[in-house]
Amino acid sequence: MLTIEKKIKMKINTKRKDDSLINIILRKGMNCFGYLGAAFVVYAVLGSWIGFTFVDLEKIMVPMSYYLTLFGVILTCSTVYFYKGNPHPPEKFSKFFSAPIVILSCLIAGIFYAMNGSLPTLVINGLAMLGLAGAFFRIQSATSE
């Protein structure tokens, strides 16, 4: 007789990959979304550290970060309508690289905020975008890529 653990392992190993066009597009899009969030954070941190920013670029980037963060929340929440019943374990890259960096960055941002009373908008929205992208990947089906 199979134990519950063995049944779960068998279920995980027999999961099919979802190679539908919409799933591939969504996963690739969220990849770009996460990278853009990281770019916002890097730009804001470097700009604050060096003291030099591009005013014209920030006129575009700040509202863009607001709208993209809201879009990420909507997209991640809307995955309840596309749920396939087969979540997958986190990828090694997420578990050992991106998640620890985002968690550490959030902690550093919290300390910085406590000490200075403010944070650049792009840092907050960029970290939110990274977190949303990671949540999206854990919710959606994996692709064979």
This prediction's pTM: 0.71
- 145 residues of the chain, pLDDT tens digit each: 555 555 555 555 445 566 777 777 877 888 888 899 999 999 998 888 888 888 888 889 889 998 988 888 887 777 777 666 656 677 788 788 888 888 898 899 989 888 988 888 899 999 998 888 887 777 766 666 5
At 96, give phi and psi (nearest 5°).
Answer: -105, -10
CB atoms within 10 A of CB 17: 13
| Euclidean distance between CA atoms 50 and 29, whole angstroms | 31
Q: What is the pLDDT of residue 82?
A: 66
Averaged confidence pLDDT in the chain = 79
